[in-house]
Amino acid sequence: GAWDMLRAYRDMREANYIGADKYFHARGNYDAAQRGPGGAWAARVISDAREKWQSDMSGRGAEDTRADQEANAWGRSGGDPNRYRPAGLPSKY
């Protein structure tokens, strides 16, 4: 699961596409959770740690953290990450 999260993060950085953040959150959590309970656990731990750091250190607001966590939970629960896919994001992602 941790590798799925890392791959989604790397893809997000590579794509550098405005509005795609939530899609990559959902996709990383979805891919990790598809590996079973251990993958879902890893996704939750990594997502929670990242959001705590982001809210404490990066200066992003509580609303952004809430929206990220919503996308994380959606993906972990088996929801289609494409719900968050922005128009125009290259198909390789």
Overall pTM > 0.85: yes
Q: Which domain CATH number covers 29?
A: 1.10.132.110
> Is 49 domain-assigned?
yes
Q: Is residue 93 part of a domain?
A: no
- pLDDT tens digits, the chain, 93 residues: what are they? 999 999 999 999 999 999 999 999 999 999 999 999 999 999 999 999 988 887 777 667 788 889 999 999 999 999 999 999 999 999 999
Lookup result for tokens 């390789």: 92
Residue at 30 is within a domain? yes
Residues recorded for the chain? 93
Q: Does 6 fall in a domain?
A: yes
18 assigned to some structural domain: yes
Q: Would you call 59 helix, strand, or coil by DSSP?
A: coil
